[in-house]
Amino acid sequence: MLKRDKKTLLITTLICICMMIIYGAFYKFYPVTESPKLEYRFDLLLLAGIVFNVILNIGLSFTVCKKMGAKFLVGLGKWIMPFTAIFLLLISIYSRMFPKSSFTDSAIYVFVGLLFIISGNYFPKNHVNPYIGLKFPWLLNDEKSWDKTHKLAGYTWILAGIICIIQLFINPLKVVTIPLVIILVGVLPLVYSLMLHYKMGGKK
């Protein structure tokens, strides 16, 4: 790892650790009475975030990631866990202080939606690699199909992100939001990539 990669690893890990410390301090003064198991899981979630942050930072420091992955997505991947830890801590504290508020659910939908939109916007800039992008093994040896699949996925991920956000304002849409997002994010790119794969295989 380069010096700057080690620095990023250290800073991001420290941020995640600080979020755990703040979380522990806050719930010491605001003990949980209604759902202790849920808060215990949240504590484990933050701990898992620290471990995952280390793995992400080490993995995204590989030369192949820097050369073949979209530069912004590589940077986002290294900082995603600190951002997520801060976000989860804030909404956890807010929901504890204002248990009747619906803000928490809305914030989560917006956060996830923005991640889909940002990721989708940079998907077409990924070149063939096994670390960043859609990790369908049959695309790793087919650059043309990789590019086409990621171009389509760019549109479907952005659309999924928009749906996550606008469903906050259209109540009936909430019933189909999760299945629709799953289809847009995973199923459509998967089916399209398989179609391209077998089409190319048929030509051979």
Q: Please give the pLDDT value at position 32.
A: 57
What does the alpha-carbon distance between residue 151 and residue 161 come to, in Å, rounded to a whole number?
16
Amino acid letter, 177 = T
Measure the CA–CA gap between 161 and 113, rounded to whole angstroms: 4
| Each residue's pLDDT tens digit, 35-49 | 444 455 667 778 888
The radius of gyration of the chain from alpha carbons, rounded to an integer in Å, stands at 20
Work out the pLDDT band at 115, boundaries 50, 70, 90: very high
Region of 133 please: left (phi>0), alpha (psi -120 to 50) or beta.
Answer: left
Give me the DSSP letters along 134-201.
---GGGTT-HHHHHHHHHHHHHHHHHHHHHHHHTTT-GGGHHHHHHHHHIIIIIHHHHHHHHHHHHHH
Residue type, 36: P
Q: What is the DSSP string of 63-103?
A: HHHHHHS-HHHHHHHHHHHHHHHHHHHHHHHHHHH-TT-SH
pLDDT of residue 5 exceeding 60, the answer is yes
Give the pLDDT score at 38: 47
* Mean pLDDT score, 107-136: 92
User: Distance between CA 67 and CA 2 in Å, rounded?
Assistant: 14
**pLDDT tens, 60-104?**
998 888 888 889 999 999 999 999 999 988 888 888 777 777 787
Q: Which two tokens stand for residue 117?
A: 């939109």
How far CA 103 is from CA of 27, 107, 173, in Å, comes to: 20, 6, 18
By percentage, how much of the chain surpasses pLDDT 70?
89
Greater model confidence, 33 or 93: 93
* Closest to 158 (Cα-Cα) out of 190, 126, 185: 185
Q: Which of 82, 18, 10 is nearest to 49 (CA)?
A: 82
Residues near 199 by Cβ (< 8 Å), separated by ≥ 6? none
Give me the mean pLDDT over the 182-187 stretch. Answer: 94
Give the span between the Cα atoms of 180 and 183, in whole angstroms.
Answer: 5
